[in-house]
Amino acid sequence: MSKEKMKRIYICQSCNYRSFKWLGRCPDCGVWNSFTEEIETCASGISLNAGGCPERMSEIATRAEGCRIITGIKELDRVLGGGLVPGSVVLLGGEPGIGKSTLLLQFLGHISGLGNKVLYISGEESPEQIRMRAERLGIEMGGKEDFWLAGEVMLERIERYVSELSPMFLAVDSIQTVICEDLESAAGSISQIRESAARLIRMSKPRGLSVFLIGHVTKEGVIAGPRVLEHLVDTVLYFEGERGHAFRILRTVKNRYGPTHEIGVFEMTGAGLREIVNPSEIFLTSRSEAVAGSVVTVCLEGTRPMLVEIQALVSRSYLANPRRTSTGFDANRLAMLVAVGERHLGTVLYDKDIFINVAGGLRIIEPAADLAVLMAIVSSLKGIPIPGGTALFGEVGLTGEVRAVTMSGARLNEAARLGLKCCLIPWMGGKQSDTPKGLGVEFVRDVKVCAERLGL
Ligand code: TYD
Ligand code: MG
């Protein structure tokens, strides 16, 4: 790379805004003191797949799809879209300490057990530490295993190890620790991360090497990191969960080889991550029958329906601005539902503190939980329990109507599978979905009808 092609530039480490002079505050994202000086090279921008001859589309498609590798961890296979496509590059992001290294080590242990050569590069832990963890996770080490470890941060040496060992799988933990000697900027800065990742990806494609990159993100997503890599890699997985809870959710954010918004559910145990194949049972285990303020809903994550308990507590407020606190549910939607309740159900909430909790530490992002949240609030306010064995789902509109949600058939099946007796669901314009046996399905057109039906 010739020196003339390099130019000095200041980059906001928060949002990647570029400027030719240093700025105290980023004009784009407003963060203070976020600019660092970096050397810009022309290399990072080039196309990764350049240089391939034209091929017939049908032939390409069969080649890519034909040989997915089943990783042996069902929840991971699910989020990857039914197994890992060889030669793909996967970015695994998440907050520090959430369990990324653990997941990766377990996964690599599985595929090395299947007879694949695996190279794990760690810039965060020493090989001794990783070995100790692998022992605890029960990864087989017979002395002949093809699981190679290196504590390394220099990109040039990582590239050399890959060409010498020619592994099938390369894992880099984490991409923030990798240093490319050609660049002057510090490890973890945006140009280092992008250049290192781009070079690893470029190296992997012709070899058919599958690459796993780990990237840390903070809650606000402010530290330079995975976000700038999302367009470079094939698949982006985020590992998330509440610190106080043992449950971890692996979420597909981008996938060139499968659907997105699919989730995998894990539990962090003393012996590593355990898959939860039946999440509904977990999120409902602590359900006490018929308690005021507790409602079961069926939410959908990707293509997977899950039964979840929503809890509400409404209590008298001693504050000028009553509290509206929600864990696992959007605060703006909660404010909207409170207003709908006041207007269309006549519930008086202006002098009440309201707390919403999604049991189990799950975060619900779809509006199908609206109806359950609103009914939980009313149930807690009036001290009247919702009948046991009942689930509700539906989006609530501003005029108090209950709106249809996607895939209600799958939701009803899940409710029936877990032995619920009754589901209150949105009116679907006369279209009756096939109702599973043993499950009573009732349509509610608006929140008033729903509240009356539940005796609230
Ligand atoms: P780790 O995989 O190191 O997180 P990350 O790579 O995302 O920073 O996991 C960190 C946490 O997981 C740590 O607090 C300890 C916990 N843990 C267990 O509870 N059980 C286990 O078997 C392992 C390996 C880790
Ligand atoms: Mg780690």
Residues 6+ apart with CB under 8 A from 404: 394, 395, 426, 427, 428, 429
Tokens of 264: 């995998």
Query: Of the bound ligands, which one is closest to the alpha carbon of residue 241?
Result: 1
Q: Angle formed by the axes of helices 127-136 and 100-113, to 10°?
A: 70
Query: Of the bound ligands, which one is closest to the alpha carbon of residue 100?
Result: 1
Please write the tens of the pLDDT for every residue from 125-175.
Answer: 999 999 999 999 988 877 778 899 999 999 999 999 999 999 999 999 989
**Residue of the nearest CA to atom 13 in ligand 1?**
97
pLDDT of 61 over the 70 cut? no
Query: With a 6 A CB cut-off, is 208 part of the ligand 1 pocket?
Result: no
**Residue of the nearest CA to atom 1 in ligand 1?**
99
pLDDT at 285: 58
pLDDT of 41 over the 90 cut? no
> Which ligand 1 atom lies nearest to the CA of residue 100?
7
Query: With a 6 A CB cut-off, is 96 part of the ligand 1 pocket?
Result: yes
Query: With a 6 A CB cut-off, is 99 part of the ligand 1 pocket?
Result: yes
Query: Of the bound ligands, which one is closest to the alpha carbon of residue 105?
Result: 1
pLDDT at 243: 72
pLDDT at 2: 42
User: Which residues place a Cβ less than 5 A from the ion ligand 2?
Assistant: 101
pLDDT at 128: 93
**Residue of the nearest CA to atom 22 in ligand 1?**
272
**Domain edges within the chain:** 1-41, 69-275, 282-453
Distance 124 CA to ligand 2 centre (A): 7
pLDDT at 44: 38
Please write the tens of the pLDDT for every residue from 68-94.
Answer: 888 888 899 989 988 888 889 999 998
pLDDT at 14: 78
The CATH architecture to which 282-453 belongs is: 2-Layer Sandwich (3.30)
Q: How confident is the model at residue 48 (pLDDT cuts 50, 70, 90)?
A: very low
pLDDT of 43 over the 50 cut? no
pLDDT at 403: 94
Round the average pLDDT of the chain to a whole number and report it: 85
> What CATH number does the domain located at 69-275 have?
3.40.50.300
pLDDT of 331 over the 90 cut? yes
pLDDT at 396: 96
Report CA dihedral (39, 45, 46, 48) to the nearest 10 degrees.
110
**Residue of the nearest CA to atom 12 in ligand 1?**
99
Span 224-252, mean pLDDT?
82
pLDDT of 64 over the 70 cut? no
